[in-house]
Chains A and B, each alone.
Chain A
Amino acid sequence: MKGILALVFIAILFAGCASAPEKETGTPNQEVSGEPANEPSTQDQNLLGAEATAQQEIDVNNAAAEAPSGADVNVDTAAAAQAEAAAKAKAEQEAAEMAAYRALEKELGISLEDGQDISFGELELVRKLD
């Protein structure tokens, strides 16, 4: 098994070396245009510019994938604030409802509590008899 893996690794390494571009000393364009060998041609510059732009785009995309963007952070903060506001509104509504119940209880002389909570404990006491 190890032998096979080693062979596959060597084959990949060999294939990689074989397909690697040879170090160029000049381009056909340089020879035709007579531009200095160490200066890239206009076409090459365009190509290099396009490559650089593409690389920049890749970098930006990678950065976007790796870290939350400012927009994401803003969305999260907004969602948290919205949830907090909703919870606060709910709590306020419940408090207002309870205040209304208390006032009505006082006015009618009738309890509006359900009074059922005690049953949970009592049922628990007889649980073993099930």
Chain B
Amino acid sequence: MKRTILFFLIAAMVISIVNAASTGGGGQTPYVQQFDERKLSCSNESTLRERVACRYNLPENYKELNFLPEECKQLGGKARDDCLFLYDKARPCWAIKDWHNQESCLKEKVWVFDINAEKQKCSDTACLYALRTKVYSVVKLRFYALEERAEKLGEHGASKESIINLVTDLEQQKLNFNKAKTVDERKAIVQHVKDLWKGFRKKTVEEIKAKGDSK
């Protein structure tokens, strides 16, 4: 009888030690990823440009995310899930042609409306940080809106080369935006994105015209 009790005690101790070790000793359960990444393509290519080129060849899908966005690729745990779900949620917005309606759609998906009013309502730092994260998300989705628009221009004569170059640059700017430490650095990135688009637009209009002239 004594031996049986001792055996159960030792077994209970071993189980509790193993359990504590698997949860990092903090007593918390490990984060289980919710987003199913098996349906995402273009994540194994070695360079950013190659991954972007792979994405370009995927069929257009406004219903669900079908590739691994670069900024999500850099993240882990819940942050990665949040990033993937945001891109997935925003998919239907890219089907909207009108810029203003697309902007409203994006803000609705990120759940950000009147930033100033929301800021006034915040009573603690956590609320303010959450608002800031949402603002950053909207800013980056605007970069992504240019990528989508560039791809649409591809249907009208913009070269694949120009589009892949622009998308690669914009993806890099999103990564730079995440690494930036100050608002001024982030604003400089937004300005750079504007310049990238200006250059792309100029080149693309010439390409589209040339294609139209050659017909």
Contacts and interface: CB of A to CB of B under 8 A. Distances in A.
Interface of A: 97, 100-101, 104, 108-120, 122-127, 129-130
B135 A114 contact: no
Chain A CB within 10 A, most for which of B97, B98, B116, B132: B132
Given A108-B153, A108-B156, A124-B183, A100 B142 contact: no
B132 A126 contact: yes
A113 B182 contact: no
B183 A126 contact: yes
A101 B119 CA distance: 38
B63 interface: no
Interface residues of B, number: 37
A127 B187 CA distance: 11
Contacts of B186: 123
B2 to A, nearest CB: 63
Nearest 4 CB-CB pairings of A with B: A114-B197, A126-B132, A127-B183, A111-B99
A114 B115 contact: no
A115 B99 contact: yes
Interface of B: prevailing SS: helix
Contacts of A118: 103, 142
A115 B131 contact: no
Nearest to A129: B132
Given A109-B97, A119-B190, A125-B135, A114 B129 contact: no
A115 B100 CA distance: 9
Contacts, number: 78
A112 B97 CA distance: 11
A115 B208 CA distance: 21
Interface stretch (B23-31, B43-51, B67-75, B144-152): B144-152
Contacts of B119: 125-126
Interface string B178-215: 00011100110010011001100110010011000000
Contacts of A110: 97, 149, 152-153, 156
A113 B193 CA distance: 12
Interface of B: 97-99, 103, 115-116, 119, 128-129, 131-132, 135, 138-139, 142-143, 145-146, 149, 152-153, 156, 181-183, 186-187, 190, 193-194, 197-198, 201-202, 205, 208-209
Contacts of B142: 115-116, 118-119
A123 B97 contact: no
Given A111-B149, A116-B193, A123 B202 contact: no
Contacts of B128: 126, 129
Contacts of A130: 181-183
Nearest to A110: B152
